[in-house]
Amino acid sequence: MINHPNTPAGTAGYAEAADVLVAQYESVSFAEVHRDVLHLFPSPPSDILDIGAGSGRDAAALAASGHRVTAVEPTAELRSLGRRIHADQAIEWVDDSLPELAVLRSRGRRFHLVLMTAVWMHLDDRERTSAMAGIADLLGVGGFVVLSLRHGPVPAGRRMFDVTPEETVRLARRHGLARVHLGERADPHGRSGVHWSYLGLRKETVTG
């Protein structure tokens, strides 16, 4: 498959493997993937933004628990499969992408929580700098960002960078986001050499 010229670089390799990836994502539950950071999720009903929603596994679980969920997924193939698989849940699907999140930011909405599962390490240094500012703008004071960082071998055809939690925390602090959680865990899919960092950030001040 040939990617559209406007396709974000960080999504390279995802459209071609959408069916396989959706099966992989759906094989592990939301509760298992996020077990170490569940205490950071707000009580329902809250406004939650799932950036890089993939198959919609997390968005569906959150919607089922009573949250108002917006799922951002730039890969059309994943977005289409997610809509179909989780058609029984009230999820607002949006075609948008980091670092700009132009569609979301144009709406002027604020969220109680922004979730980025296995997303942040797809952005290069310049993109991460730009994206963090935009994410902070999407949060109200007291809102949370929960994100995970993959470490280990990069799958063929993918674009990933070696992003440390320490670097991410420093960048977040510049935009009024304070670290409230940092944890490490093995890969839930059992892949050799792969492990994850989980970060929780809280918006402490108004920025911009």
Q: What is the mean pLDDT of each run of 10 residues along the chain (208 residues)?
A: 49 78 95 97 98 97 98 96 97 97 95 97 97 96 97 92 97 98 96 97 80
Closest CA to 139 of 96, 53, 202, 59: 202
Q: What is the distance between the alpha carbons of residues 124 and 162, in angstroms, rounded to a whole number? A: 9
CB–CB of 202/132 below 8 Å?
no
- Give the per-residue pLDDT at 3: 37
* Partners of residue 49 on adjacent β-strands: 70, 114
- Give the per-residue pLDDT at 4: 39
**Domains of the chain listed by start with CATH number:** 9-203 (3.40.50.150)
- Give the per-residue pLDDT at 15: 84
